[in-house]
Amino acid sequence: MFTTIPLLCRWVSILLVAVLASSPLTGCSPNQFKTEAAQVPQLISASLGEPTTFNYPLNDSAYSVFGFLYDGLLTENGLTGKLEPAVAESWQLSENKQRVVFTLREGLKWSDGQPFTTDDIVFTYNNIYLNEKIPTGIRDILRIGTSGSFPTVKKLDQRRVEFTIPEPFAPFLRNTGGLPILPAHILRETVQATGPDGNPKFLSTWGTDTDPQKIIGNGPYRMESFTPTQRVIFRRNPYYWRKDAQGNPQPYIERIVLQIIESTDNQLLSFRNGDLDDLEVAPEAFELLKQEEKRRHFNIYNGGMETGTTFVAFNLNKARNSRNQPLVNPIKSRWFNTVAFRQAVAHAIDRETIKNNVFRGLGELQNSPIYIKSPYYLSPQEGLKVYDYNPDKAKQLLLGAGFKYNDKNQLLDAEGNRVRFTLLSNVERKTRVDMAAQIKRDLSRIGMQVDLQILSFNPYIERVSVARSYDCYLGGFLGGGIEPNSGFNIWNAEGALHTFNQGPIPGEPQLIGWEAADWERKISDLYIQGAQELDEAKRKTIYAQTQQIAQEQLPFIHLVERISLDAVSDRVQGIKYSALGGAFWNLYELKVSQK
């Protein structure tokens, strides 16, 4: 699973809701945490994976700490999706929508007590996000127009900062308002200095081997400790800016314990034992938990269809690595780059059975990369192409593309090569493993031999997005909400999350002969046009075209997305649940009662 670039409130929800699981704990026992919880207001949650970095711009994992550590200039209401003040108390947008001035709140401080000013904002953008020497996917969503220019960021005074852009850019306010700001007084030297390799020292700064208490942020919490493979502990940031109507400092919850527990199979045991305060409800656990809801004193919240996507993606990359070796076996690459082959696979996967068996009916068939509740979503009724389960149609497509069958009903290509490839997935989610097993069975019915390779999350990510050495993978993107441009780093041909045909990334080993297909460039261009267009009706038409091309070419064969279900202990008060924001988008105002 990969992340797009939503606002920070969503990151907190991802961390606390979307990745719950359990396994035998080591080090500190749950009873110890319960004892400590009696002393301070505390919430215990869990993550399927551990953070891979404490350096936000370099992060490419769904499992991170940043939603706790940083606030953006603006925040997104988890119920309505509307922008609201955060670090900036107000903003003024020019009539032509190409200039915005943010005014910071008075007296802002970093978690080390140092002043937070517009100097930090200018530094974060000009020296980090827009610095070509720093390989970050953030630049993808800040690029403007066909020229790929970036905002100009200028300090007006200690509390006002100005962003200007050379042409209209519809997501301008949402994108600039939602990104974390980093501390100039800590990181400026690391950007200016270079290491032995000639790269900025920033690239090796704030790794997970850094003392967590030295990571400085402006969010509701700061890190107290990190024990690899076990847990991250956060303490309330005493310098956090939020206060309630009575002037009391927020957040109210003093301590967050994020257990690193890498299996959804055991998450039910931990939650039922009372060792976790919340749980992402897996489809196979829903019936049991629903029966226990009142007796065990928790509530199951239903937010409707999740904002993310789940899919199978073939590796379309025709490039060679720095050792001049093909990333994909050339024989397989010819199959994968044949659109009829991908369409045949789409028709051969029985998504209804996945929905009913794997998701226990608690999911919906997915056909678009855009969130179903987004105003830019194109429905099948409006013309979006849909691939119903039809093995006979799949075989017709393959035969029409030059494939053939032997007397054992095994699929061969035109040269007589057996069609056999490996499907890569991650082990942490039982639904993923079950989906992979069914896809293997489904594709065997049209003569394909699929081998499964199930890895833990971080090696899985490395194979897909760094080494690029895979045949196809079963994965997903956490949703960016209602604004399609939050996925531009996926659909930009040179984007950092263009995983089905990942191009060169600054700072990585050379790729030889990488190229993007015409349809990839077309989608990329349409995303640029969609961001340039301010008329909502015209934007919808543009993003409709992107969805139509994506469903015709199938770089992602969309499957089933789960219904957003979360179980939260009754002792957590103030939950305002939605699929968009999750259970903890308003973490700062939640309270916990003592058991």
Q: Read off the pLDDT band of 395 (50, 70, 90).
A: very high
Which pLDDT belongs to residue 27?
40
Give me the residue label for tokens 């003093």: 254
Distance, CA of 560 to CA of 548 (rounded, Å)? 18
The answer to whether 12 touches 217, Cβ cutoff 8 Å, is no
Distance, CA of 283 to CA of 280 (rounded, Å)? 9
The answer to whether 208 touches 228, Cβ cutoff 8 Å, is yes
Using omega within 30 degrees of 0 as the cis cutoff, is the peptide bond preceding 251 cis?
Answer: yes
- Hey, how many other C-beta atoms are within 10 angstroms of the C-beta on 535? 11
- Hey, how many other C-beta atoms are within 10 angstroms of the C-beta on 250? 17
- Asked whether the predicted pLDDT for residue 2 surpasses 80, the reply is no
Q: Collapse the DSSP code of 214 into the 3-class scheme (helix H, G, I; strand E, B; otherwise coil) and give the result.
A: helix
| CATH fold for domain 309-562 | Dipeptide-binding Protein; domain 3 (3.10.105)
Distance, CA of 93 to CA of 98 (rounded, Å)? 8
Q: Collapse the DSSP code of 138 into the 3-class scheme (helix H, G, I; strand E, B; otherwise coil) and give the result.
A: helix
Please enumerate in sequence order all residues whose Cβ is within 8 A of that of 332, keeping only pairs 6 or more positions apart, or say none.
421, 471
* Whole-number percent of the chain with pLDDT over 90: 76
Please enumerate in sequence order all residues whose Cβ is within 8 A of that of 149, keeping only pairs 6 or more positions apart, or say none.
143, 165, 166
Q: One-letter amino acid identity for 515?
A: E
Averaged pLDDT of the chain: 90
Please enumerate in sequence order all residues whose Cβ is within 8 A of that of 480, keeping only pairs 6 or more positions apart, or say none.
4, 5, 6, 10, 307, 371, 486, 487
- Asked whether the predicted pLDDT for residue 18 surpasses 70, the reply is no
Closest CA to 256 of 443, 83, 46, 447: 46
Report which secondary-structure segment, H or E, holds 174.
helix 172-178
The answer to whether 527 touches 492, Cβ cutoff 8 Å, is yes
Beta-bridge partner residues of 100: 93, 163
Looking at residue 464, the DSSP 8-state letter turns out to be I
Q: One-letter amino acid identity for 534?
A: L
Over residues 400-407, mean pLDDT: 98
Please enumerate in sequence order all residues whose Cβ is within 8 A of that of 262, keeping only pairs 6 or more positions apart, or say none.
21, 23, 48, 49, 427, 428, 456, 457
Q: One-letter amino acid identity for 170?
A: A
Over residues 144-172, mean pLDDT: 92
Residue 346 φ/ψ, nearest 5 degrees: -60, -40
Residue 251 φ/ψ, nearest 5 degrees: -70, 165
- Which tokens in the block code for residue 315? 């590796």
Q: What is the pLDDT of residues 159-197, one digit of tens each?
A: 999 999 999 899 999 888 989 999 999 999 999 999 888
| Residue 268 Cα distances to 22, 119, 277, 293, 454, angstroms | 7, 47, 12, 13, 22
pLDDT higher at 35 or 510 = 510
Q: Collapse the DSSP code of 280 into the 3-class scheme (helix H, G, I; strand E, B; otherwise coil) and give the result.
A: strand
| Residue 192 Cα distances to 111, 182, 195, angstroms | 23, 15, 10
| Residue 419 Cα distances to 325, 414, 442, 556, 573, angstroms | 21, 11, 14, 20, 55
* Whole-number percent of the chain with pLDDT over 70: 93
| CATH fold for domain 74-188 | Dipeptide-binding Protein; domain 1 (3.90.76)
Q: What is the pLDDT of residues 276-332, one digit of tens each?
A: 999 999 898 999 999 999 999 999 999 988 888 999 999 999 999 989 999 999 999
The answer to whether 49 touches 546, Cβ cutoff 8 Å, is no
The answer to whether 337 touches 380, Cβ cutoff 8 Å, is no
Beta-bridge partner residues of 565: 302
Which pLDDT belongs to residue 486?
87
Closest CA to 566 of 372, 308, 282: 282
| Residue 347 Cα distances to 97, 163, 260, 440, angstroms | 44, 47, 38, 14
Closest CA to 471 of 435, 520, 515, 422: 422
Distance, CA of 478 to CA of 579 (rounded, Å)? 11
Which pLDDT belongs to residue 542?
98
Q: What length is written for the chain?
A: 595
In the chain, ranges of CATH 3.90.76.10 domains = 74-188
Q: Collapse the DSSP code of 36 into the 3-class scheme (helix H, G, I; strand E, B; otherwise coil) and give the result.
A: helix
279: left (phi over 0), alpha (psi -120 to 50) or beta: beta
- Asked whether the predicted pLDDT for residue 1 surpasses 60, the reply is no
Q: Read off the pLDDT band of 505 (50, 70, 90).
A: confident
Q: What is the pLDDT of residues 37-66, one digit of tens each?
A: 457 899 999 888 899 999 999 998 888 999
Please enumerate in sequence order all residues whose Cβ is within 8 A of that of 341, keeping only pairs 6 or more positions apart, or say none.
335, 397, 398, 401, 403
Which pLDDT belongs to residue 6?
39
Over residues 9-15, mean pLDDT: 36
Give me the residue label for tokens 């678009």: 368
DSSP per-residue string spanning 140-173: HHH-BTTTTB--EEEE-SSSEEEEE-SS--TTHH
The answer to whether 368 touches 308, Cβ cutoff 8 Å, is no
Q: Read off the pLDDT band of 24 (50, 70, 90).
A: very low
* 50-62 exposure pattern, b = at least 16 Cβ within 10 A, e = fewer: bbbbbbbbbbbbb
Q: Going along 94-238, which residue ranges are E strands? A: 99-104, 152-155, 160-164, 221-227, 231-236
Q: One-letter amino acid identity for 448?
A: M
The answer to whether 347 touches 389, Cβ cutoff 8 Å, is yes
Q: What is the pLDDT of residues 343-362, one digit of tens each?
A: 999 999 999 999 999 999 99
Over residues 450-471, mean pLDDT: 93
Beta-bridge partner residues of 163: 100, 153
pTM (two decimals): 0.81
Distance, CA of 46 to CA of 584 (rounded, Å)? 13
Q: What is the pLDDT of residues 71-102, one digit of tens each?
A: 999 999 999 989 999 999 999 999 998 999 99
Distance, CA of 8 to CA of 77 (rounded, Å)? 10
Q: Read off the pLDDT band of 3 (50, 70, 90).
A: very low
- Asked whether the predicted pLDDT for residue 31 surpasses 60, the reply is no
Which pLDDT belongs to residue 480?
66
In the chain, ranges of CATH 3.10.105.10 domains = 309-562
